[in-house]
Structure 1
Amino acid sequence: ELALVDKVLRDLFTPDIDRLIIDNPVEHAKMRDKLESTAPVLMGRMHLYTDRRPLFELHSVESEMEKALNRKVWLDSGGYLIIDRTEALWVIDVNTGKFIGKTSLADTILRTNLEACREICRQLRLRDMAGIIVIDFIDMDSADDQRKVLEFLEDELRRDRTRTHLVGMTELGLVQLTRKREGKDLDAVMREPCPVCSGRGRLLSAQTLAFRVRREILRLALDDHNEAILVRVHPHTAIELIGVEGEEVETLERDSGRTILIQVDQHLHPECHEVLGGPKNQLEARVTRLSQGHQVKVRLEEPFGPNIQSALAVVNGHLVEVLSGGDRLGKEVQVRMIRNTGAFCQAEIVR
């Protein structure tokens, strides 16, 4: 495989490039040697950067790279693109966004779609998108406008050094094209699948998970040997299970006829949980009790579910609602326990 310097000289440093700036003297010397024999006319466009300020910082390269990974790409007019990737293809959706135009709706749509063509082709090159690409332009009623957009897109695609093929527009108004794959795209190079959602980009909601846990609790409650039920869950699921002022878990205890103990684990995968049934004394022994009046210092990281006046804290595996803590998020505070039901705790801030 070619070294980075060779790839840049072969694929990127072409006569239409004004300057090539490099901050490594060794690589700069290598490039000069290669250019002397291959393209001496370009040698005057190559510059060695020697200042102390990082080159990427000087030209805002880091921020531009971050933008190149964003799902939403804004257009100058106020419209925007949404770029999504599936296992089989890339999908680009064009939206008018804030752009309302000054003439007719049809003209606004046409101008947005034409502007999107230019930006889409830029994104193809920037992200090195390859394979099948489907573009959902804003619907155009005029066949003439559709033709203008396709012709403009084809003109823009001709600037791409990577081979592309514009297939055309389907009856649903979707534009199909293919682009030759020449390596990993930017997303594959700079990112890896999320260890939490396994690359899906979505997680089951806390409400959905709480319903699952409730069903498991009710199933275990059918066994008379299960005097109590211990639940180990992520804090967000625990909030849904417990409910406002502990109402949900109290209802669940009445419906199941069992004592329910909730153990919170911040390090547990958000979609995972554990539900155990057994003798009450054995399960209670696995839970550290927080006595009323117990004081402890906690960091308030987020609101307690929908109740933005309260804050969430986890103390010794207990989910604690810190009353009036919503305006102290991000801070460490001393709290005093004022309620502990086994499944639900409340605390107040010690002033």
Structure 2
Amino acid sequence: MSEEILINVTPQETRIAYIENGVLQEINIERARSRGMVGNIYQGRVSRVLPGMEAAFVDIGLERAAFLHVSDIELKPEEKETGVESRPRMIYDLLRSGQNLMVQVIKDPLGSKGARLTTEITIPSRYLVYVPNGRNIGVSSRIEDVAERERLKGIMNEFMAESRSDESDAEIGGFILRTAAEGADAKSLRQDFDFLRRLWRGVQDRQLDESGVGLILEDLPIALRALRDVLGGSVEKIRIDSRETYHRAMQFAQEMVPDILPMIEHYPGERPLFDLHSIEQEIASALDRRVPLKSGGYIIIDQTEAMTTIDINTGGYVGSKNLEETIFKTNLEAASAIARQLRLRNLGGIIIIDFIDMIEPEHRQIVHETLKRALENDHARTKVCEVSGLGLVEMTRKRTRESLEHILCEVCPTCGGRGTVKTAETICYEIFREVTREARQYNAKQMLVIAASAVVDRLREEDSTSLAELQEFIGVPLKLQADVHYLPEQYDIVLM
């Protein structure tokens, strides 16, 4: 599998496209006015403890207070050794109002919700993740070779043993070897080890006094994060269309990830970088509810406040054998398409997939395995349940930032996010009821109805008889006025 990363930079926003085998798989967008906060470290102050929710609101200097759940409060190493973590933890035993603490953002603010916090600080580099409050060495589960895991742990143990001559285990902290560390030599790991230790000492030096709250360490810009997190040897090219960002990327790579230097290219072409793989068109398609399948079937994706629902339909695909085979092939194709759409749209939280009902248990199992296999390349953590008797698959995908739709779109001012508006007929009948109500309450000589053109046209045509009967019933003449600025459901009744 060949991968390519395209980085499009303008003063207003940076967009990063991840291409696999020539097909867009993921798009990340960071805007200058609303940079993501995941990974940022803050000094915060507990503003309110909520025993009923086992959580607390923490002021970190943002417009909205951030949220800290008891499960995201890390115990100290000495507390873990005494077995405290095995006992139920109560929020009021751990925090009090006005208390200062260092926290890290693990989820950006979503909708009306504030940022989600943790006290378990982690700082990633190319090969390592530093855990200041830890004491152990962990290895990514994606490094499966036992000998390689032991080799890496052995190297890290040597580094930590050398540090113990000057510092205690608590001062040294713990480390996790990332997937990218597979095959890395001791020199490269040592560079990361020293860099992270220096960075953490800088964080401690910048820690604010007791009266302050605010940012202590900001994560890298999205373009440099993309370079830091390049995994394995499957990435062949990293193209950047901004000369300034290209030079920054080269300097960063020279210091942090020198092995990717040959991959980084500046793209000076007149043709927009994202046009090379029709990415603008792909982004526009990712905002549609309907996703066509090559077979002629299609899937429908609906994003709601509580969950995302995905429905599969055979559409124009009729197959060549029998109905069960047609359904099975449509579901198989949909399973792969869904995995790509989840990444592309960055859909997270609870996801319900309504596969077309399959009679054969073997077919259900194959579709389930196909979906899980297709999700293996997803960087976000996923959990997929078995296909239920109703053909439903329940799954979760870790959500750390807004979906593509929420970044690029806003709620429709006409329908208020419902996706539908009342018909002109419905509005006409609402007007009839409101006119009757107003006529009974007030002694008007005439009433003026102002509404959208479609509603006024219906009142003058299909409902003209009903309008005449209403005027006779209330004994007040009605005058109609169309206003092109009125929304379909908007109307006013003026007493004259």
Deviation per CA, 1:168-205, whole angstroms, max 9, x where unpaired? Answer: 22332210100111211111111111222222222222
Deviation per CA, 1:2-22, whole angstroms, max 9, x where unpaired? Answer: 312122223457532332221
Residue number among 190, 193, 197 corresponding to 2:411 in the alignment: 193
Aligned partner of 2:282 in structure 1 is 64
| Aligned-residue offset at 1:153 | 1.0
Residue aligned with 2:223, SS: helix
Question: Is the 8 Å Cα contact of residues 117 and 152 (structure 1) preserved in structure 2?
Answer: yes
* 1:255-334 to 2 correspondences below 5 Å: 255-277=473-495, 283=496
Aligned partner of 1:35 in structure 2 is 253
Question: Is the 8 Å Cα contact of residues 448 and 478 (structure 2) preserved in structure 1?
Answer: yes
Aligned partner of 1:157 in structure 2 is 375
* 1:209-228 to 2 correspondences below 5 Å: 209-222=427-440, 225-228=443-446
Deviation per CA, 1:187-234, whole angstroms, max 9, x where unpaired? Answer: 111111122222222222221111010112223344683232211112
TM-score for the superposition, normalised by structure 1: 0.74
Residue number among 283, 292, 297 corresponding to 1:74 in the alignment: 292
CA root-mean-square deviation: 2.0
**Partners in 1 of 2:486 and 2:239 — Cα distance?**
47
Deviation per CA, 1:236-295, whole angstroms, max 9, x where unpaired? Answer: 221222224944433433343321101222212322222233xxxxx3xxxxxxxxxxxx
Does 2:336 align with 1:118? yes
Q: Structure 1 50/248 Cα, relative in aligned 2: closer, same or farther at 3 Å? A: same
Q: Structure 1 119/227 Cα, relative in aligned 2: closer, same or farther at 3 Å? A: same
Q: Structure 1 33/134 Cα, relative in aligned 2: closer, same or farther at 3 Å? A: same
**Partners in 2 of 1:12 and 1:251 — Cα distance?**
73
- Equivalent AA in structure 2 for residue 39 of structure 1: V
Question: Is the 8 Å Cα contact of residues 230 and 263 (structure 1) preserved in structure 2?
Answer: yes
Question: Is the 8 Å Cα contact of residues 238 and 262 (structure 1) preserved in structure 2?
Answer: yes
**Partners in 2 of 1:7 and 1:207 — Cα distance?**
54
Q: Structure 1 182/257 Cα, relative in aligned 2: closer, same or farther at 3 Å? A: same
Question: Is the 8 Å Cα contact of residues 286 and 345 (structure 2) preserved in structure 1?
Answer: yes
Gaps of 5+ in 2: 1-218
Gaps of 5+ in 1: 278-282, 284-351
- Equivalent AA in structure 2 for residue 20 of structure 1: I
**Partners in 1 of 2:373 and 2:438 — Cα distance?**
66
Does 2:225 align with 1:7? yes
Residue aligned with 1:97, SS: coil
Point out which structure has higher relative CO (alpha carbons under 8 A, 6+ apart).
Answer: 2
TM-score for the superposition, normalised by structure 2: 0.53
- Work out the number of aligned pairs and report it: 278
Question: Is the 8 Å Cα contact of residues 289 and 300 (structure 2) preserved in structure 1?
Answer: yes
